[in-house]
A and B are shown apart, each in its own frame.
Chain A
Amino acid sequence: MPGEARANSLGGVAIWFAATLAVASVGVVAYEGQRTGAALRTRNALRDASTRERDALAETRRSLVALDDSVRMAQARGRAADTQPYVIVSLADNRLWVRDGGEELFTTRVASGSGRTLIGAGSKQKFRFDTPRGKLTVKSKETSPAWVPPDWHFVEQANKKKLGILRMTRGQVIRVSDGVITTRGSDVVKRHRDGTVTPMTASDGRELAAGGRIIIPPFGTNARRYKEILGTHRLNLGDGYALHGTNAPNTIGRSVSHGCVRLRNEDIETLYRMIPVGAAVYIY
């Protein structure tokens, strides 16, 4: 039976060989599967990380867009919406500018408050001739304005002429050598001894006087309205202050006024045309 034994032996080897092949193929498949699984896990991890990073990128983009919006909003904040021209006056430079937005429309030299202090008789009255700093508004505009001199003008004239002061009220009768001075309607009049009545006029430097005193006429009388002092035009700023022309153009460029801002007549005329009522005037 050696032939049968050899056959049995060959068959056994073949079976073992087949079994080994089977095990080897399982091993190879398992090995490849394991490697592919590892590659899959790596890919999945990368994909998750990539997704997170893409989300982070999108979030960064969103936050950047929001920031850009905030920048644009901040840039838009506080922009002047009105286009009305306004006036700037520098007291240190005695210069005026008209601007509209950032654009300069006009500039010229001016005269501004002297900063002097005037002390009245008996030191009871003090007047300081400063141009007010701050924001004022053009309240009204006039052509050929008349000047209604404030009290300080009469105090100043009285000091200059070494006279006293007499404040007159409506209806008051002031006795003088050749009659009386009183008011009638909008005039200050002199009633002479013979009964005749003549209106009295006054001007800068030629004020009414009686008995060694300068008369301060009542407000609203013609004797307290001086013509051609303030030039051709006036832009009133309230509280007695104004931008106005002048009959003394040589004073322009200096700090010599009693608080108003003086311009040459041709300049105030330009300003009169350019600046509407309600425009802001910034004085610094």
Chain B
Amino acid sequence: MTGPDRAGLTRPTIVYAITVLLLVAAALGVPFLRAQRAALVLEAHELGAIRTTTAAAIDSLRGVREQTRATLTLERARATAREEPSLHLVIAVDSGTMSLVRDGITLRSMPVRFRGAPSRGMQTIDKIVESVVGAVPATVDSLGNAVAAAPEATVERVMLTDGTVIEGGDAAAVLLGGLEATAGPKTVVLSRRDFAAVRPNLVRGMKAVLF
């Protein structure tokens, strides 16, 4: 086994040579691979941090987008109300006001109070009904005028297509504004004086925009 091979080299020499080559390759390659891996791990960490930031930014933007969508719905409803050339009602649920509007001009703006949260969107007046109510207590309207007590009275109520009712009520309670959580139909209550002022203008089929 110690005899010369075809190239004149002994087998141990070849083995040693290969071993040396491999050792050199390992000595050079392993640090290189480790450095590469360290760089990759570092890059992966950076990418992870970027992903976290990106995910947070996307979440934030999605939240803003949802808010903007809600704003857009609101603004579109407002624009529809402004563009409507015929006489119509605009009920702003958040600010608690009802307006009589034509050609984008607010003819009368009135404070209102809600019983039950009214649905937002476009409605039309479905019907105007009369009903007898019990005694009406003496009160003072929004302009400070005394409203005499009545033992029994017939009141008119305006019904929208979604069942929301618009009616006159106690002015002092209306001025408090806000939303009462009660059972029964959703109701928009304005002062009796305001109701009397706008009622002759309300007809079946008239639009009412709630936003």
Measuring CB to CB, which residues of chain A are less than 8 angstroms from any residue of chain B? Answer: 8, 11, 14-15, 18-19, 21-22, 25-26, 28-29, 32-33, 35-36, 39-40, 42-43, 46-47, 49-50, 53-54, 56-57, 60-61, 63-64, 67-68, 70-71, 74-75, 77-80, 86, 88, 90-93, 99, 102, 133-135, 280, 282, 284
| Nearest CB of chain B from residue A138's CB, rounded to whole Å | 15
Verify B62–A60 contact, CB threshold 8 A.
yes
Number of residues in B with C-beta < 8 Å to the partner?
60
Q: Judge whether B100 is part of the interface by a CB distance below 8 angstroms.
A: yes
Q: Summarize B's interface: helix, strand, loop or mixed.
A: helix
- Output the least CB separation between A64 and chain B (Å): 5
Complex interface bits, B54-67 against A, C-beta within 8 A gives 1, otherwise 0: 11011001101100
Q: Residues of B at under 8 Å CB distance from A?
A: 2, 11-12, 15-16, 18-19, 22-23, 25-26, 29-30, 33-34, 36-37, 40-41, 43-44, 47-48, 50-51, 54-55, 57-58, 61-62, 64-65, 68-69, 71-72, 75-76, 78-83, 87, 100, 102-108, 193, 196-198, 200-201
- B107 interface neighbour in A26, A29, A284, Cβ under 8 Å: A284
Q: CA separation between A39 and B41, bound complex, in Å?
A: 6
Minimum C-beta distance from B131 to chain A (A):
22
Known contacts A32-B34, A80-B105; A21 and B47 CB within 8 A of each other: no
Residues from chain A with Cβ under 8 Å of B15 in the complex: 15, 18-19, 22
Given contacts A75-B75, A284-B198, contact A43 B47 (CB under 8 A): yes
By beta carbon, the residue of chain A nearest B33 is A32
Q: Which of B55, B82, B198 contacts A78 (CB 8 A)?
A: B82
B47 touches A46 (CB 8 A): yes
Q: With contacts A28-B30, A135-B103, A284-B100 known, what are 14 further pairs, Cβ within 8 A? A: A15-B11, A25-B22, A35-B37, A42-B44, A43-B41, A46-B48, A46-B51, A49-B47, A54-B54, A63-B65, A71-B75, A75-B75, A78-B80, A135-B102
Contact partners of B30 in chain A: CB under 8 A: 28-29, 32
Are B83 and A78 interface neighbours, CB within 8 A?
yes
Say yes or no: A74-B197 contact (C-beta < 8 A), given A25-B23, A25-B26, A29-B29: no
Given known pairs A74-B76, A93-B197, the reply for A22 and B23 (CB within 8 Å) is yes
Q: List 6 A-B contacts (CB under 8 A).
A: A8-B2, A90-B108, A91-B200, A135-B102, A135-B103, A284-B201
Flag if B40 contacts A39 (CB, 8 Å). Answer: yes
Determine the distance from Cα of A280 to Cα of B58 in the docked complex, in whole angstroms.
Answer: 50
Min distance, Cβ A59 to any Cβ of chain B, angstroms = 9
User: In the complex, what residues of B have CB within 8 A of residue A77's CB?
Assistant: 79, 82-83
Nearest chain B CB to A261 CB, angstrom units: 15
Best-buried of A71, A93, A134 by chain B (most CB within 10 Å): A71
Instruction: Verify B50–A36 contact, CB threshold 8 A.
Output: no
- Cβ of B75 and Cβ of A53 under 8 Å apart? no
Taking the closest CB of chain B, its distance from the CB of A91, in whole angstroms, is: 8
Contacts of B2 in A (CB 8 A): 8
**Pair B58/A92 contact, Cβ less than 8 Å:** no
The answer to whether A71 and B72 have CB atoms under 8 Å apart is yes
Closest-CB distance, B147 to chain A (whole angstroms) = 14
